[in-house]
Amino acid sequence: MNGAPQDAAVPLLVASGLSKHYGGVRAIDEVSLTLPRGTVLGVIGPNGAGKSTLIGLLGGALRPTAGRIQFDGVDVTGEPAAERARRGIGRTYQIPRPFLDMTVRENLLAAQYSLEPFIGRQRALDACDGILERTGLADAANLAARALPLLRRKRLEVARALALKPRLLLLDEVGAGLVDSEVGDLIALIRALAREVQGLIIIEHVLRIVRECCGELLVVNFGRKLAEGHTAAVLASEQVAAVYLGTAHAGAIPSPQAAAATGLAGLVQANAPQAEPAGVPLLELRDLHAGYGLARVLTGIDLVVRTGQAVAILGTNGAGKTTLASVISGLIRPSAGELRIDGVNRVGAGPHQIARLGISQCMEGRRIFAPLSVAENLLLAAGRASKAERSRRLDLVYGVFPVLRERRAQGGTSMSGGQQQMLAIGRALMSRPRLIIFDEISLGLAPVVMDQLYAALAALRAAGLTMLIVEQDVQRALDLADEVHVMEHGRIALSGTATQIRDNPVLRHLYIGTAD
């Protein structure tokens, strides 16, 4: 495509000592990798381990704090994304970013025309339609991208990257949320692609895709390289299994939390002044539908959470877990169905009203307020409580997470991911809630931190807090919850007690994809 050296001796991509730091957080730290021509490299690791950051650095969306990137023997470290794309580096976004107000075909044409402004119209169209055909989007060619549901948007990401006729293709979790059969198709597609492009880097949660597509595998954790080598070998290693599958924790709760538990009691039980008898439905969803614009994410959810219960919602990426959480907390207005709190239908109530009903949410991605200090982040949620009451609650939260007391004067986002998550949990507690929705709190956290968090959750539960846990991490959720619902494609596919679910084969199928 352009005059860069093509001889096979030069590896397609060489990244040396790549680092990306945000303030104190080291998203990527000293990662080096070499991609010989014709290889398919898989990158795995817990969410938030820095995989997407890595892609960003390679694709040029992010400027590295340190390190160099050579593509095809040329140093491209300084080049902006557009120039790298023109050299033939194509990428997809984990959260799809299609051009929402253009048709699917136009999305591809954009890539075509940016490369060859004077390409014959017909040729361009044919090329696009060809790609749409392969990616199974042909039927949607003239739809506005806005109208596509999440999974198809992910397809569009791939298609758009292909329209660039890339030599190196970076795929970021394109398999997420696919069911088995779809995974099969995707694998076929990736294999076909591997023959066309000169190199392929795949970030994937779906182990089956990793196994069947990637020759080489790189495991990232906390932004550092954890392991590297032939896929089979790497996957076999205990360490990797531990880190990645997130089963690294000892089942028992560390003792220090016991102390906290008593404090917690003060925080939570006050919420049930007339000592609500356990088992009264606190939250009830009836045939709930919701979505964004035309994309319907939730299609008929029925769910009951009783006081004192710990309910877990499991499910693949894009199954609608977080949407469900947002609907409950009033951030998204359901398109149909009922949202009952204490038996009263609250559809249409604003988030702050829901919050004041004693339902608080520990939001996905923490959503800490950067301009507010740690203490202020906590106080904010205390709302109209009296000064004395506020400081009482502060102390209790500090009791649970002593580190927050040390950092109380700091900016909320200046802390590490784990500490921020603690802050988020503390903040959810400050309103003396009756029910807390924990949304993906384990996202990209060190196992040890996860242990602390889940210990805290256990303590809260012991203290009698009702909780709804939305989780990626099956094991932990199962350990904590007494009732579990597994979501798939916007509906609840499987329900039961933790024990029932635990040994249910369907779970593995739905969640990780049948491990052969």
Partner 1 sequence: MDLQTVTDSLVSGVLLGGILALTALGLSIALGVMRLVNLAHGEILVGGAYLGLYLLRWTGLDPVLGLLLIGVLMAVLVYPLHGLLLAPLSGQGLEAPMMTMFGVSIILQNAFLLFFSADTRSIDRPYAATPVHIGSITVPQIYLIGFVISVIVIVLVHLLIARTRFGRELRASAADPGAAAANGVDVRRVHALTFALGAACAAMGGTLIGIAFSFSPTSGASYLLTGFAIVVLGGLGNIFATLVAGVALGLLQSLGGVVFGDGYRELAGLVLFLVVLAIRPQGLLSGRGS
Partner 2 sequence: MAADASAQRVAALAAGLLIVFLALALLSGWFSDYALELGGRVLLLMTLAEAWNLLAGYGGLVSLGTASFVGVGAYVLVGVMNRGAGLPLACLAAGLAAAALALLVSRAVFRLRGLYFTVGTLALSEALRLFMINFQPLGGATGLFLSPDVPGLRGLFLLALGLFAAATILMELATRSRFSILLRAVRDDEDAAAQIGVRPFRIKLLAFVFASVLMGLGGALQGLKLGAVEPYGMFGLQWTVNVLAIVIIGGQGLRLAALLGSVFVVTLGELLASYPALHLAITGLILIIVIRFAPQGLAGLTIRLARRLRRSTRA
The residues of the shown chain that bind partner 1, judged by CB under 8 A, are 329-331, 350-352, 355-356, 360-361, 363, 367, 369-372, 376, 379-381, 383-384, 427, 431
Measured distance CA(307)–CA(496) in Å, rounded: 17
The length of the chain, given as a count of residues: 516
- In the complex with partner 1, the residue whose CB is nearer, 202 or 397, is 397
3-state SS string over 353-410? HHHHCCEEEECCCCCCCCCCEHHHHHHHHHCCCCHHHHHHHHHHHHHHCHHHHHCCCC
Closest distance to partner 2 from the beta carbon of 11 (Å): 23
Of 67 and 90, the one with the shorter C-beta distance to partner 2 is 90
250 touches partner 2 by CB under 8 A: no
Q: Which residues contact 207 (CB under 8 A, 6 or more apart)?
A: 44, 235, 512, 513, 515
* Ramachandran area for residue 8 (φ above 0: left; ψ -120 to 50: alpha; else beta): alpha
Q: Does 82 bind partner 2 (CB under 8 A)?
A: yes
Three-state DSSP string of 442-492: CCCCCHHHHHHHHHHHHHHHHCCCEEEEECCCHHHHHHHCCEEEEEECCEE
19 by DSSP, 3-state: which?
strand
- The entry of partner 2, partner 1, none near residue 177 (CB within 5 to 8 angstroms by kind) is none
Distances (CA, A) of 513 to 93, 162, 281, 308, 490: 22, 26, 34, 33, 18
What is the contact mask toward partner 2 in residues 114 to 133, using x (rule: CB under 8 A)?
A: xx-x---x--xx--------
Give the whole-angstrom CA distance, residue 191 versus residue 391: 59
Smallest separation (angstroms) from partner 1 to the CB of 363:
6
In angstroms, give the least distance from the CB of 63 to partner 2: 13
Q: Which of 17, 23, 24, 80 binds partner 2 (CB under 8 A)?
A: 80
Tell me if 110 contacts partner 2 by CB under 8 A.
Answer: yes
Which does residue 316 bind out of partner 1, partner 2, none, counting CB within 5 to 8 angstroms by kind?
none
Shortest CB 102 distance to partner 2, Å: 5
Residue 390 is a binding residue for partner 2 (CB under 8 A): no
- Please check whether residue 269 is in contact with residue 460, taking contact to mean a CB–CB distance below 8 angstroms: no
- Span 453-472, contacts to partner 2 by CB under 8 A: none
Task: Indicate whether 2 belongs to the interface with partner 2 (CB under 8 A).
Answer: no
- 6, 63, 97, 270: which one binds partner 2 (CB under 8 A): 97
Task: Say how far apart CA 456 and CA 449 lie, in whole Å.
Answer: 11
Q: Which is nearer to partner 1, 385 or 403 (CB)?
A: 385
Residues that bind partner 2 (CB under 8 A): 59-61, 80-82, 85-86, 90-91, 93, 97-103, 105-107, 109-111, 113-115, 117, 121, 124-125, 142, 160-161, 163-164
